[in-house]
Amino acid sequence: MTPNRRAKEAKVSAKKNFYSDNVSGAAPEILAALVAANTGDTAPYGADPTTEGLQARFGSLFETEVEVFPVGTGTAANGLCAAILSAPYGALYVSDSAHVHGNECGGAEFWSGGNARTIPVPGADGKLSASELARLVDEALARPADVPPRAVSISQGTEASTVYTLAEVRAIVEVARARRLWVHMDGARLANAVARLGCSPAEATWKAGVDILSFGASKNGALTAEAVVFFNRELAQSMRYRRRRGGHLFSKMRFLSIQLEAYVANDLWLRNARHANAMARRVRDGLAAIPSVRFRGPTEINFVLVALPQPIWDGLVAEGYSFSRRGAPSERTIRIVCAFDTREEDVDELIATAKRYAADSLPIGARAG
């Protein structure tokens, strides 16, 4: 098979891949920057100009002095934050759908050497509830033999395609501050959340009380780069060493830094996120026209959680579409994810295909005599 033909076939199937925002490749701007960065003088382990320049670049982006540490993955970013915030040891309160709690193989415990525990806080729509947080923390503080509360972690946006309003963030921060907890934000999809909120990056984070941020990029156009951003710079003291021993001080760090630089340059991160959000909105609006389809919560960022009748599900799979499943099989819930490179025509094709199979499908109890 010739390379050209192979690329073309891949193209065909790529447009049916709504499995994850990680299946997309790198944004052209980022890839170009990476290629361009391959020449020129440099230094190992982040002593290069690109990495050093990130400090000012992110300071400008967030309108305040920050310390930025590029790392390879969101799990590393979250784990490092958990280790720092739990020291000498203690609990990190998270939403029950938080990635750091259920999707990182116990990364918080690992990165902290057994010092951190993640405690899920109930809430609706993938968010933790400020009042439930207050209740759980107060209970723990009253038990001298329990793990002491140290921090709260807010996933912005959530694993349920929702976004905390700034008022919601501030309510959580208020509960945290009153109990001397640090505030972490897991911003694996921060771009999508900021695009949704229409606020500034500063308003979404430190102005609302966030101390440390896991700043995501890989889901929105980078290849393999994330960062930890310290608004509370005193917390950064041990970071340099922790990152190195954890294997995230890359010897050729500039190849991560250049991704981050290109990611935030010219608002690329927000443009990409706005597009992904809009494509998810388009998916939702299209599916909403099919009576037998049941949404599972809002669609505020770049993916749709939806329960599909069996015929539609089977039909889409047969046509080569790819999604990830959520919850128990009996619920027939899937996650349809859009990315910065999802095309309108691919969404429209998905909707049209779903509608084709919807004829046979009626919600339970609806196929009346």
Cα separation, 314 vs 316, in Å, equals 6
Interaction between residue 265 and its own copies (CB under 8 A): no
Interaction between residue 26 and its own copies (CB under 8 A): yes
Interacting span for its own copies (CB under 8 A) from 160-168, 193-201, 246-254, 298-306? 246-254
CB 213 within 8 A of CB 239: no
Q: Which of 245, 330, 364, 367 binds its own copies (CB under 8 A)?
A: 245
- Least separation in angstroms between residue 285's CB and its own copies is 26
Interacting span for its own copies (CB under 8 A) from 29-37, 126-134, 270-278, 353-361? 29-37
Report the side by side order of strands in the sheet with 333-337: 294-295, 303-307, 333-337, 324-326
**Beta strands 226-230 and 294-295, pairing class:** unpaired
Interaction between residue 53 and its own copies (CB under 8 A): no
Q: Which of 184, 189, 207, 219 binds its own copies (CB under 8 A)?
A: 219
128 closest CA partner among 181, 81, 80: 181
* Residue corresponding to tokens 């920050």: 66
CB 128 within 8 A of CB 172: yes
Helix (H) or strand (E) holding 335: strand 333-337
In 206-302, beta strands by DSSP E: 212-215, 226-230, 294-295
Cα separation, 352 vs 253, in Å, equals 45
Q: Which of 76, 92, 273, 276 binds its own copies (CB under 8 A)?
A: 76
Interaction between residue 276 and its own copies (CB under 8 A): no
The token pair at 33 is 């920057």
Interaction between residue 25 and its own copies (CB under 8 A): yes
Interacting span for its own copies (CB under 8 A) from 60-68, 98-106, 164-172, 347-355? 98-106
Find the Cα–Cα–Cα–Cα dihedral 205, 207, 212, 214, rounded to 10°: 10
Interaction between residue 148 and its own copies (CB under 8 A): yes
CB closer to its own copies out of 128 and 358: 128
- Least separation in angstroms between residue 195's CB and its own copies is 20
Interaction between residue 177 and its own copies (CB under 8 A): no
- Least separation in angstroms between residue 151's CB and its own copies is 14
CB closer to its own copies out of 106 and 209: 106
Interaction between residue 242 and its own copies (CB under 8 A): yes
CB 192 within 8 A of CB 166: no
The token pair at 367 is 């196929």
Cα separation, 27 vs 339, in Å, equals 10
- Least separation in angstroms between residue 262's CB and its own copies is 14
The token pair at 333 is 């819930």
Interaction between residue 5 and its own copies (CB under 8 A): no
Q: Which of 189, 248, 275, 282 binds its own copies (CB under 8 A)?
A: 248
Report helix, strand or coil for 116.
Answer: strand
Cα separation, 298 vs 307, in Å, equals 13
Interacting span for its own copies (CB under 8 A) from 2-10, 290-298, 342-350, 355-363? 2-10
Q: Which of 18, 215, 231, 255 binds its own copies (CB under 8 A)?
A: 255
Interacting span for its own copies (CB under 8 A) from 3-11, 163-171, 204-212, 302-310? 3-11
Interacting span for its own copies (CB under 8 A) from 4-12, 56-64, 291-299, 303-311? 4-12
Interaction between residue 104 and its own copies (CB under 8 A): yes
CB 216 within 8 A of CB 191: yes
Residue type (1 letter), 254:
R
Interaction between residue 7 and its own copies (CB under 8 A): yes
Q: Which of 50, 51, 73, 292 binds its own copies (CB under 8 A)?
A: 73
Phi, psi of 95 (to 5 degrees): -75, 155
